Structure 1
Amino acid sequence: MKKETEQLWASEKYTVMAKGYNFYKEVQGFMRDAQSNADYEKVTMLIAEVKEKPFERRALCNTLEHVWGYFKKSAEEVDKEHFFSLLKTLRESDAAYYEEMPYEIHLYLQYLLQKYPSEYLSRSSFIKN
């Protein structure tokens, strides 16, 4: 149960972070303290609950900046400019919450991952879904 939960957390951590940093810290704390199967089941349930929540704009922007870190050293300037243009548009949006990640930025993340592969990010539900 421990290994499965660790793999789940690795694949869902950016999605959870983009829902709200407080959710991320909560799950991270439960993961750190988990010892029994019941603890790991609680983490799994908590991740499932958080995934049902909308994305919080501010948390989503911060998470996108964090994910950009995987691309920044290899990305061409044109890709960087486009990414930050999309991020600026999102930041300036009137919406405080999103049921889904805005399509254009999600599609662009998939493009970046294809152009600049990252094994770790390729396992993340944040980009794949």
Structure 2
Amino acid sequence: MNWQKVWAFNKYWVMSKSQKQYDYIRCLAKNNQWTPHKSQELRNIIDLLESVSPTRKTLTTTYQHIWGYFKKKCNNEELHRYLRLLDGLQPDDDNLGPFLAQLTKKYQIDYLEKSRIIIELNKREN
């Protein structure tokens, strides 16, 4: 699998665990100049993050980015629910992620449907 597909799949999942690693990978990918060494670095970072738990801050940032796909599509009820869930977001009691996964399905956001974070949120709900 090429690095762009790996990155697209893992992008928000990485962000949910470490803004620092997310920013580092973005630097690696700068100018689309990719090497086998960079591919291995990407894989190493992803492997390292498997054991990292999201924080309220990293989840908030990630979910705000994901929300950007819905903010012009959603209705007022969905907006208010998003804001309420964001305000009460706790990593160990995350109701916002599943809500965003529901919106992803409802609005058929292809990019998000194929992203690791949404796939994992959907698995948790089933």
TM-score (structure 1 length as normaliser):
0.81
Paired residue for 1:25? 23
Q: 4+ residue runs of structure 1 moved beyond 6 angstroms?
A: none
Partner residue, 1:74:
73
Q: State the identity %.
A: 25
- Aligned-partner residue type, residue 15 of structure 2: M
Aligned counterpart in structure 1 of residue 103 of structure 2, from 112, 124, 129: 112
How far apart are the structure 1 equivalents of 2:48 and 2:15?
13
For 1:101 and 1:127, locate their aligned partners in 2 and report how far apart those are by CA, in whole Å.
Answer: 16
- Report SS of the residue matched to 1:55: coil
* Alpha-carbon distance in structure 1 between the residues aligned to 2:102 and 2:7: 24
- Partner of 1:54 in structure 2? 53
User: How many residues are treated as equivalent by the alignment?
Assistant: 119
Alignment root-mean-square deviation, CA: 1.9
Counterpart contact for 1:16–1:51, Cα < 8 Å: no
The CA deviation at 1:22 is: 1.1
Normalising by structure 2, report the TM-score: 0.83
Q: Is the 8 A contact 1:14 1:124 kept in 2?
A: yes
Q: Which amino acid aligns with 1:9?
A: W
Alpha-carbon distance change, 101 to 12 in structure 1, aligned in 2, over 3 angstroms: farther
